[in-house]
Amino acid sequence: MTPASPVSGEDRRTPLWRHLYVQVLAAIVLGALLGHFAPATGRALKPLGDGFIKLVKMVIAPVIFLTLAGGIAGMRELGAVGRVAGKALGYFLVVSTLALLVGLAVANIVRPGAGMNIDPATLDRGAVAGYAAKAHDASLTDFLLGVIPETLVSALTSGSILQTLFVGILFGIALMLVGEPARPLLATIDRLTAVVFRIVGMLMRLAPIGAFGAIAFTVGAYGAGSLVRLGGLVATFYLTSLLFILVVLGAVARAHGFSILRLIAYLKSELLLVLGTSSSESALPALMTRLEEAGCDKAVVGLVVPTGYSFNLDGTNIYMTLAALFIAQACGVELSWGEQFALLGVAMISSKGAAGVTGAGFITLAATLSIVPSVPVAGMALILGVDRFMSECRSLTNFIGNAVAAIVVARWEGKLDRERLTEALG
């Protein structure tokens, strides 16, 4: 049973102003204007954006748990679970590495930080101290231990996608192994899934309010002036991400029988929501529903999308290598090719587990730079003022990357209804 989409009920006969994507787009424009012309008021509206994101995060754990547990139990074969997970992780590794390489290549070709001649001693170390401290605490061991929740129930209350994913997989496998006696519980899970997705649909109606508050705060707090001062870096990052989506992800999509542009058009409501809130998590439940409606198997979506939110962050990967080299160039630090590939290797590890939450990319960058002594961590103060604007692009790229990944893995598994996909994207 596929739950009703929070946005798919808007058919072509609905008046334009009642479409969710139109409402969110209008909210973004109005919020940006308010933040620009009345910065104090814009900053005061921050609780609207924060409140909406909290509402959505409230249902993310149940959505992931129910979808994943029910989907795995429905596979009825343990080998199928391992096969899907293996294919997904292999795809993530290849595409994420390509994203890091693209960021590295563009930084060397465009050199957005060259000529700034910044003395690291003059930078405000205190401005990034909090991010560096969080990055220092996030060791690989802590990350691995953090996947294991305190209790089965706490996995649904901790806010950690990986913990929910871990328990959902265990629960689904247990349901599968118990077999026939667990069928009534599986039917209950299906009914609960429908109820939770109905809640998601209700919450999505508040998306314009959340987007309005979030974008008004961003523009009011950081101002358009910060974009002008570091416009070269921001423009380079946006163009690089666009290049990655259209060329790399576009080629992957074309090789698997669908158009990246049509997929983007299909997900326009969710993409505008991500743009407005600067968080790909805000649209996670809706993305899972939309992919199921487009013909992807429920179990594949339930496994690939939540896992991708921690292990397939294409936008964050582009940002990390591009921003790290920008800081090095701005501070007059010339990195050898050996040092750059060492930086890439560290970024491959530190980027895993940075779920699509606002600001996670900045913390991950701090973690990377703290391990590579050639680039001063204090240099992050240079981009602190525009990081929020780049956060939106990171989230959008991460979101599109995970949508493509789910369709690709579903096709590899023979779990993609090609007719439904063509109809949805057409």
Span 146-190, pLDDT tens digits: 778 888 888 888 777 778 888 888 898 898 888 888 888 888 988
Query: What pLDDT score was predicted for residue 130?
Result: 54
Look over the chain and give the mean of its residue pLDDT values, rounded to a whole number.
Answer: 81
DSSP string, 267-285: THHHHHHHHHHT-GGGGHH
Query: Residue 356: what pLDDT?
Result: 40
User: How far is it, in rounded angstroms, from Cα 116 to Cα 326?
Assistant: 10
354 touches 313 (CB < 8 A): yes
pLDDT of 136 above 80: no
Tokens of 153: 């129930």
Among 59-68, 103-112, 117-126, the least confident range:
117-126
Q: What is the pLDDT of residues 235-251, one digit of tens each?
A: 899 999 999 999 999 99
**DSSP secondary structure of 398-422:** HHHHHHHHHHHHHHHTT-B-HHHHH
pLDDT value of residue 417? 93
CATH code assigned to 16-425: 1.10.3860.10
Q: How confident is the model at residue 355 (pLDDT cuts 50, 70, 90)?
A: very low
Kindly tell me if the per-residue pLDDT of 51 is higher than 70: yes
Asked if pLDDT for residue 122 goes beyond 50, the answer is: yes
* 416: β partners: 296
CB 272 within 8 A of CB 21: yes
Amino acid identity for residue 182 in this structure: A
CA 274, CA 283: separation in Å to the nearest integer? 6
Residue 128 has pLDDT above 60, yes or no: no
What pLDDT sits at residue 99?
93
The predicted model gives 68-83 an average pLDDT of 78
What whole-number distance in Å separates Cα of residue 84 and Cα of residue 102?
A: 27
**Side-chain half-sphere CA neighbours of 5 within 13 A:** 22
Closest residue by Cα to residue 149 from 134, 137, 167:
167
pLDDT in tens, 266-292: 999 899 888 887 778 888 888 989 999
Cα distance between residue 129 and residue 147, in whole Å = 26
CA angle 193, 418, 169 (to 5 degrees): 35
Q: Is the pLDDT of residue 399 over 60?
A: yes
Closest CA to 211 of 275, 269, 264, 285: 275
Helix (H, G, I), strand (E, B) or coil at 110: helix
- 3-state DSSP assignment of residue 158: coil
Write out pLDDT tens, residues 305-330.
888 887 888 998 898 889 888 888 88
| Distance (Å, whole) CA 400 – CA 111 | 27
Q: Across residues 122-131, what is the average pLDDT?
A: 55
Share of the chain above pLDDT 70, in %: 82
Domain range annotation of the chain: 16-425
The DSSP letter of residue 5 is P
Whether pLDDT at 137 is above 90: no
Task: Specify the length of the chain in residues.
Answer: 426
